[in-house]
Structure 1
Amino acid sequence: MASKSDQLLIVVSILEGRQFPKSSRHELVVQAKFDGEQLATDPVEHKDKPQFCTELAWELDRRTLHQHRLQRTPIKLQCYAVDTVTSAKESLGYIVLDLRSVQEVKQPPKWFPLLSSKYKKLKPEILVSVVLENDTKQAPDQFKAKEAPPRQGSPRFSNLVTGPLAAILKEDEGYHQIGPEDRCIDLFVLSVTVAFATKLEQLIPNTMKLSQEGSEFFFYYTLLGNDITSEPFHNLISPNFEPERASVRIRSSDSVLRAYLSQQPNLQIHLCCGNHSLGSTEISFSGLLKGGVEFERQPATVEGAFTLVPPNRAKLKLPAIPPDLQPTLGVSITLRREGVNPQLGSPGKSVDGSPVKKGSVSPLPPRSPPPEQRPCTPLSPRRSPIPSHDSPEPRHASLHTESEAESLLEDPGLAQPIPAVAGPSVPSDGQVHIQLEAPVSSVSVSAPKISIPSSAHHFCFSMDLRSIRDMDVGFPVNCTLRYSYQFFGSVAPIMTNPPVEVQKNMEVFLPQSYCAFDFAALPHQLQDTFLRVPLVVEVWHKDPTARDLLLGTVSIQLSHLLASEKTRFLGPSGQQHWRQTFSDRIPVMKARGPNEKVAELCYVTTLEDLGLVKAQDIVISESLQNVPPDPQRTGPPPQKHHSVPAAPDEPPGPRETLEYKAALELEMWKEEQEDLFDNQLKQKELSHMKALAEEWRKRDREREALVKKKEMEYNLLEEQLQKTLADLEKRERLLAHAEMETQRLQREMRAEHEFSMRELQDSGRRLREDCAHQVELERSKVRQLEEERSRLQQQTQDAENKYKQLEKEFQQFRDQQNTRPEIRLQSEINLLSLEKVELERKLESTTKSKLHYKQQWGRALKELARFKQREQENAMMRLKKQQQELEHMRLRYLASEEKEAVKTEKQELEEIRNELNRLKQQEETRPWKDTAGVPQNDSADDHLSRLLEERDTLLRTGVYTHEDRIIAELNRQIQEAMAQRGGPHHQ
């Protein structure tokens, strides 16, 4: 395994998003996947700027990180839109993060756009930050109980160190094996002794009420994975408890054991009250290895008075405790070779034969809750259920401490309905102690007992969640209900199973909704708890494809049950008991958002008072667990049956009859029971008075200790207040000086402001004058431009009139030229010659194209045969793409040709104009009849030849055919040119 410094965390911070559309029906969820592990954020509103504010982390070491970087393992973020009604998920896009760019230095977050986004127009983005952090372990001031070793039937080992060494429990032989069995054959004994404690009242927080947590205190620590608790004590001012030593046998060698102890974390010892740790101290095992002690000859010892530190003093910034008032704990840790005299005090007797005093413990079975939630003390009396003979599993592990008693009492199986009371084993106001028979183990414990108070009552509480109706959440619900009430002795939740489907405007009866709790408590404790603590029932929606959804909660006030009418009933032995029943329909309120009603719950509660339980001390063994005791133990003893001798023949007297003797015996037994009852009442009264007096004295001492502690804290606070007042006076003087300086600066700023305002006014006036002058100049320029515009419009009109006149004259001149017969014949000859040439060119081009196409078709068939099977689909796609590109190229080329044709026509028109001008000049010098026809015919022939050449060039490229638009246009122009040339001959 990697060392602690090699452990890293890849932390992906998903902060917020932007450019998302708003949707009231959907919620946004981002799922991150890395190395096969998937994490997700909580659902947020589907709006323009969703706020995720979530950190997702993966654990790995540096070697694994290097491998992922070599393999380019990505971190993929997938964004989903979840329908709040149907719970359907729709992918909106994804983001891929490169692990190679992640550094241990924190980088500013970046905006990443969603790839393959559903909203392509909006282009949504998410703000993400990725960083590598060191995987720091739990702080030493946080209290956390360790996980216990496994129960019977599970693997018999536990790795307690991070290195190659591990402690393996050999329960049958009674020791822990550290190192290889063939080499490590020496036996050692590791002992921890809690000797004394002082100034413990300094650890009581001001906000803690001891009446709520119980008045018992004890010490808790873990030794080789075994949870160990000391005997409870009540007085914190002068704690009076016997020194307790816990020992464990270890089979190893000197060198291996030294290496194992050097890897062990510090031993943490906690002072506990109920489920709370009031303070803790740490003792290092490395002290056993100092000084070169040889375990063969003498034991290694670490002992002294260690300071107990409150768990949250540094976090709450409380004043430090003076050295003379610091709470201390006397602890001794001893490691010796088995057989070496430990030279300790009065030795006790352990299971393995080593001298030990009471308090030694054995390995414990695992707890069902996780270690973070496990309390360090057994349950208080009012939470302890009465043990049942049909417990889910036999308790025959090994000797258990008080922590295991708590584990057994908090077993979720005991929270199920108890059909009958197995015996009057009711816990007392103190701590529950259980002694179970077990095989030999490496750790020993003293014999605990169950102490039962005389005034405790046996109660049976039952809850029946009948039905639920009027469910109004907008979608069908797979409904299940869950609740827990620790006062009944079980922290495991009670759930209705299986889930039932509930729709709007319907009532559904809940399956397996009845649960009964048998427990023992004092009546005033029951009333106080029912009045203060409501029973909260949660309504959940079980979704097989998504996370369970909490729909609402309902608080059931159990005080209504106490106010209901009491009815009598007889027990199985004829005893008189009391029963109270209450039923009601109450609304289920929405869990999140506004306080709205989402459903209505019908329930029935029943409380049965089964009377007092006889005060006694019980030692529990396997026989008590396997054989249920007589359920009539709390009732009167059975009547005695005497053997009566046979009567003579004469009738007996009235006092000699069996009925009279039985009645007399019954009356005598009644008087005896009344006397016993009176004596018991007197004894109970005396014991109660003594307990009240002792409790009053103890509370008085605690109040005095708290008053002293408060006085010390008030003195410290008074010193801090005086120091703060001095600082405030100094700050007040500084503020007065700063105020005078501020007033001076204000005067200077005011003068500067007035000067700047005057300058601004002068510059504004100058700017206005300049602007007025510029506007006048622009207006004059506009008038001149208007006059120039009118003059240019007149010139344009004159030029257009002149152009129309010239065009009319040119048309007349053209008509005159076309009427000459010799010119018309010459034009027809030229036209026929051109047509002949054109037909010859077409024939040659067609022949060449046919041969070329045959060759190309042969090559194409060969290529198609070679690539048809493996690239048919790709070839089709490429062909389609090429066709599209050719079409685009043809269209572009056609457009360019059309532009070129237009340009060419414009040039021809310009040449015609120039030619007309030249002809007009010639007409002035010589008769036009001699020379006019030849240039006109030459120009038309050149134009016709150019059109034919362009058409043939385009056809020879093989890209165009006679059906294309540009070829058709050229043919039309050729026909027009030929028609113009041949016009005079056809008239």
Structure 2
Amino acid sequence: MASKSEQLLIVVSILEGRHFPKSQRHNLVVQAKFDGEQLTTDPVDHKEQPQFCTELAWELDRRTLHQHRLQRTPIKLQCFAVDISTSAKTCVGYIILDLRSVQEIKQVPKWYSLLNSKYTKLKPALLLSMGLENDNKHTELTPEKFKARKAPPRHGSPVLSSLLPEKLEAILKEDEGYHQIGHQDHCTDFFVLSVTVAFATKLEQLIPSTKNLAGEDFFFYYALLGNDITSESFQNLMSPSFEPERASVRIRSSDPVLRAFLDQQPSLQIHLCCGNHSLGSTEVSLAGLAKSTVDLDKQVATVEGAFILQPPNRAKKSLPVLPDLQPNVGVSITLRREALAAEVGEDGPVNPLNAGTVEPIQHLSPTVEESLRTPSPGRNSPVMTPTSLQECPSNPHTESEADSLQEEAAPPAYPSGPVLAPVQVEDQPERVLSSVSVSAPKIAIPSSAHHYCFSMDLRSIRSLTLSFPVSCMLRYTYQFFGSAAPIMTNPPVEVKRNMEVFLPQSYCAFDFATLPHQLQDTFFRIPLVVDVWHKDPSARDILLGTASIQLSHLLTAEKSRFLGPDRQQHWRQTFSERIPVIKSQGPNEKVAELCYVTTLEDLGLVKVQEVIVSESSQNGNPVAPKTPPPQPVPSSSTGKIPPEPRETLEYRAALELEMWKEMQEDLFDDQLKKKELGHMQALAEEWKKRDREREALVKKKEVEYNILEQQLQKTLADLEKREKQLAHAEMETQSLQREMCAEHAFSMRELQESGRRLREDYAHQVGLERSRVRQLEEELSRQQQQILDAESKYKMLEKEYQQFREQQSIRPEIRLQSEINLLSLEKVELERKLESTTKSKLHYKQQWGRALKELARFKQREQESAMTRLKKQQQELESMRLRYLAAEEKEAVKSEKHELEDIRNELNRLKQQEDNRPWAGNSGGPATSPNESSDDHLSRLLEERDTLLHTGVYTHEDRIISELNRQIQEAMSHRVAH
């Protein structure tokens, strides 16, 4: 046993994904397999970047890890798309992780693309990281900590709460048939959690008085650990009559962990439903089971009572309800150990194949064990489909296919597919710990279901690619045919390369009943997977590969007619094919070819026999007795005497006819009276029923009217109080009105006085402005006269200036000045041209310098590229030289192996000669020569070197391999010297 310090954990962190397509109907799940143990992540949404954020860990010691590294044991991650409605899983790709790359230091997460991905265009990938961690749980849970407290911690102690996770979850184990709560190491016991809906009263209070109560189906619905449970439907809310029903879930856990899980769980909600609507609900707390002081080893923890149903819109109505008219539902929840349940006999006989768990046909969970009902006469029992169960839990019937395993003596019925279930009845004993009785399961097959017969013949297997002979055995399961037990070919047959072997006992037929569209949907969606195993008697069986058979090809095959045992025509479809067997681990390689033949026979509609008792058979109409014909009276004489009229045959026949008519009329009158009496009794019963309904409605109306009367009285009191408030407010308003009128008159007087004063002020301001305007007009006339005088003076000055300019233009200095101005302009233009020419010359010099620099740069680049090409050619020559040296070393190793093989053969030959000598047996014991010991030492060194090289961890350049080669050379030289 390894020490505590050598305990390790291989942790694979699955963080997120990318490049996945969006799908509303599917979830993504990643399953990891290592050393025969499988771990699964929680389902996440099927979107472009799913967030897994999950760590999967395997516990092992350091020696086992070293062995797995030598054997190159892979870690295989498979990504599945799970259908939400049918729970069907489809593999969308896988990833192979190398265990040799796992290190104890924390590694950076990397993206790994999915191999053999279903989504070829998107190339999805997962972000993963692997690492080794020290397993410290053994040191944390040492017994010394418990010794310090002199006793293990009890429920609710801080030590136990620190060991448990923050949130416990119920993980479904479909193969084993139970829910697991807590870590696998702590789950040591099995428990059974049961919920029973026993009775209900005053349900009519949940229905409005304006709605008709007749003609509606009602049922109770609740969810138990994610499983939808519905009760038997009923129509009469006044006195609901339905058989008590128990739903049980099998749980694997421990006592403290289970109590902590129940303490974390929310209350169980039970709904009264009508179609898709919830009329009322109640909550039953599961904390009572967790806080119970009952010892589950000896007793049963129970929470039961009558719980009040609250309508969904009670908060809106806010109407008080009398306590004696509140709707109630009787619920009982029990928790017990599975061993105690077997002793009490509450669950009936336990099937050893599935440990007492039952798998419903809706594929919600294999652990729900719900009692079933027989549909009432005159009503059609609805057929459960996965779609209808997901949309609305209104179907009151469920069925189990595993119950057929519990009745071995019963004749075989139709196995259940995804829709129909076998017709089976299982009697259960009465409960000892509760007064509630349990109903027996029954099933109703709809008239539209067909009887099918599917047969599979695995003919032969050939084209084996493995180098060793295989003891081949084939195995497959397909739960749609109604059997969860695997079908296997027995005994195993030996298969070698380049040979075809026919498989024994490979034919199997399934009879089942289902709807045609369900058959087509299942065949097109779910393939039949055949596992090819190598059965080794001295070791564990090895899974060589799998072959996927697409059953949809069978539906597209040609149909042929045939006559059944009832001399009626039926249809048959046959399809045969050779398919490859793909290797289960590693790359997708073909291992062999499998030849199979499938046949599907449609035997028509399922015949449901019904016994109908006619009314005539009940009444038993009597038949009138036949009277023998009258004998003629012999005459006493030979003469013909006319007979009496009443003695003739006609009269007697007419008399008998009249008597028969009267008797039939009396019988008819009696039958009419009986029918009338029956109808009157039915009318009386219906009248009483209507009276009871009317009385209940009247009581309900009275309660409502009393409540309305109370509300009216309260409203009247409020109105009187409000009227008084209004009168007081009116008086206050009148006083305020008088005050406002006085204030208005005072303000009007003030406004009139202020208006008078403003008019006087404005009249004085207007007089002042008029006098000011007269002064401005006088000033304007004076300014205009001054402007006329200034204009006349300007005209005179203009004439004098013109005369002066004419006199100056006649002088020669003026002409010379104009020529000087022209020459200066030409000088400026020539200077500008000279400056532009100088600038262009400087620009051309700069361009020429840049061109020279660029040419030098080009030369340098060409020299660097030539040097790079030269270095690359030298590297290629060096790699070719290394490959050549490696090839020479391989040739040398091969020659050494051949030489060692020759030496071994020679040694074996010498040993045989020594054994054949007559004086070999005279000695007291087997004498070993130095040559034999050196040969053993040499063979052991060779075997160790070859083993290390075959692992792939070491190469010829490693130190240990070089040391072994040196020792081998020394041993060979020593042997040659001797």
Same fold, TM exceeding 0.5? Answer: no
Q: TM-score, with normalisation over the residues of structure 1?
A: 0.39
Q: Greater relative contact order: 1 or 2 (C-alpha under 8 angstroms, separation 6 or more)?
A: 1
Q: TM-score, with normalisation over the residues of structure 2?
A: 0.40
